[in-house]
Amino acid sequence: MDDFEMLLDESLQDPEFKKEWEDNQTEYEIMRMLVMARAEKNLTQKELSELSGVRQSNISRIERGMCIPNIPTLEAIARGLGKKLKIEFV
């Protein structure tokens, strides 16, 4: 379990935080996955922008939760990271 997951588990004990998390979980997961994938590749936002064709300012907004990316944007970011986008219902 990484530091984020430990902090999240602790924070979910607060009912108000838990409701907020559950209401916005998809957006938070997109933010988290993007930040982690970019860090895994040791890329700056600017470098990922150059590789993906997505403006650095848009990558920043996604990572800060200021916007929800559309599927073509997520696909471009995935390609820039050398990955494929996978969406599934669980």
Q: What is the pLDDT of residues 41-57, one digit of tens each?
A: 999 999 999 999 999 99
The answer on pLDDT for 34 being more than 90 is yes
Q: Give the CA angle between residues 25, 44, 41 to the nearest 5°.
A: 75
Who's near 5: CB < 8 A, 6+ residues apart?
none
Averaged pLDDT score across all residues of the chain: 91
Largest Cα separation within the chain, whole Å, is: 41
Q: Give the CA angle between residues 76, 78, 83 to the nearest 5°.
A: 140
| Percent of the chain's residues with pLDDT above 70 | 99
| Higher pLDDT, residue 38 or 4 | 38
Q: Distance between CA atoms of 4 and 88, rounded to whole angstroms?
A: 23
The answer on pLDDT for 1 being more than 70 is no
pLDDT category at 2 given cuts 50, 70, 90 is: confident
pLDDT in tens, 65-76: 899 999 999 999
- Taking the CB of residue 81, how many other CB atoms lie within 10 A of it? 19
